[in-house]
Amino acid sequence: MILDLHSHSIVSDDGRAKVPNYCQWIRKKDLPLDGFVLTEHRKFDFDSDYSALATEFDLTILKASEVETEYGHVLVFGVTRALTEAFDFSDIGLPLAKVLEESERHGAVAVPCHPGRTRVGMCAHVESLGIPAGVSIVEVFNGGSRGTEDDAARALAETQGYRGIGGSDAHIVSHIGRCATAFPGAIGTEAELVEALQAGEFEAKSWKSKSSESSS
Amino acid sequence: MTIASFDQVEFGDELPSFTPDTGLENVRRFAKAAQMMAKRFTDHEGARKEGLPGAMVPGVMSQAILTAMIHRWAPEAALVKIDTIFRAPVMVDEAHEVNGVVTDLDEETKTAEIDLTITNGAGETRVLGTATVRLP
């Protein structure tokens, strides 16, 4: 099963895509995606219900969050109401250690995203802050990466023994599915996604260049 | 092919892409017309002194380029809204490609939503956004 693990809708302040249009686009362009995860900035979208849309388009549509720490941005999968009360998702200076610790305590998984990016990626902060404890997965393919950002992400993952995921980081409809993550089994809920990430059996994929790339 | 009416547009349609003239002389002409003759737009060395890698295309010029693409595709379209996010500078004297694709249609209001991108030679998205256009 292939899921785009990083996307934004109009629920995010800089998102311009409506979720129905993501679904239409995936089917119209026959993208090799079975679904996507909405990782809205600095919040968890408790209000939206995409179950009817998921059924209509036969896609898995899950919800997660992208929060901001001193090491850059971090995706949090398996968000619960209790987790949103454990720390302030809107805080742009969250301690990564707290995000990792509380995520684990609440059965969620925290994944630093676009680590190769200037300012908002983990690599930029490792020299001054050191390698953080508790990270086991990072995003190695990001659809919005420029230059050698993904190379830096993969080098970090390789040297630290992290597993790698992929996500488009789409903010507009036509960018969905540029990168994604392949899992061996079916995933239909946020809990199943967390379980699959914890199992560590997945492979990051990128379709940004003409020839696709993979990285596990 | 140009679009004359809303009925001719389909979800997923691509607007004809093109490579805009983002050479220094052309950018200087735009900056002069817009009365924004800052060195970061008109002079590579001056831009470097401001900490940039070189002169960059003004944001409003990028928006104008995107808008011009829409009007070449649909000359009768009324631009209701254009909304751009500047992810990275569009560098002067570098080749860029401008693209648009229809990502939503509203039959009631006869409007189309268009994803817009400006990418450089490395395929990096420098500017992205959306436009809403009303068609006859």
Chain B interface with A: residues with Cβ < 8 Å? 11-12, 83, 85, 87-88, 101, 103-104, 113, 115-117, 122-125, 128-130
* Neighbouring C-beta atoms of residue A152, cutoff 10 Å: 20
DSSP class of residue B81 equals E
Domain spans of chain B?
Answer: 11-21+56-134
A29 vs B contacts (CB less than 8 Å): 12
CATH number at residue A29: 3.20.20.140
- CB-CB contact of A176 with A26 (8 Å): yes
Nearest to A29 among B12, B83, B124 (CB): B12
Work out how many domains chain A is built from and give that number: 1
B86 vs A contacts (CB less than 8 Å): none
**What pLDDT is attached to residue B12?**
98
CATH code of B11-21+56-134, in short, is: 3.10.129.10
**Cα separations in angstroms, B48 against A58, A94, B40, B56:** 51, 34, 8, 10
Strand A213-215 relative to strand A203-206: parallel, antiparallel, unpaired?
antiparallel
Owning domain of residue A19: 2-215
Residues 6+ apart with CB under 8 A from A56: A23
Please say if the pLDDT value at position A214 is more than 80: no
**Which DSSP string do the residues of B105-132 spell out, in sequence order?**
EETTTTEEEEEEEEEETT--EEEEEEEE
Tokens of B4: 């004359």
Would you tell me the crossing angle of helices B59-73 and B24-33 to the nearest 10 degrees? 100
State the smallest CA–CA distance between residue A145 and chain B in angstroms: 7
A19 vs B contacts (CB less than 8 Å): none
Question: Which residue of B103, B111, B113 to mutate against A (max A Cβ within 10 Å)?
Answer: B103
Please say if the pLDDT value at position A212 is more than 70: no
The model's pTM is 0.94
Question: Is the ipTM of this structure higher than 0.90?
Answer: yes
Cross-chain Cβ contact B11/A28 below 8 Å: yes
Tens digit of pLDDT per residue, chain B (136 long)? 899 999 999 999 999 999 999 999 999 999 999 999 999 999 999 999 999 999 999 999 999 999 999 999 999 999 999 999 999 999 999 999 999 999 999 999 999 999 999 999 999 999 999 999 999 9
- CB-CB contact of B65 with B79 (8 Å): no
> Strands across the sheet with A109-112, in order?
A109-112, A72-77, A60-69, A35-41, A2-7, A179-182, A203-206, A213-215
- CB-CB contact of A203 with A215 (8 Å): yes
Distance CA A138, CA A153 (A): 8
What is chain A's length? 216
**What pLDDT is attached to residue A210?**
47
Mean pLDDT of A151-174: 97
- pLDDT (tens digit, 9 = 90+) per residue, A81-124? 999 999 999 999 999 999 999 999 999 999 999 999 999 999 99
B88 vs A contacts (CB less than 8 Å): 146
Q: Which percentage of chain A shows pLDDT scores above 70? A: 96
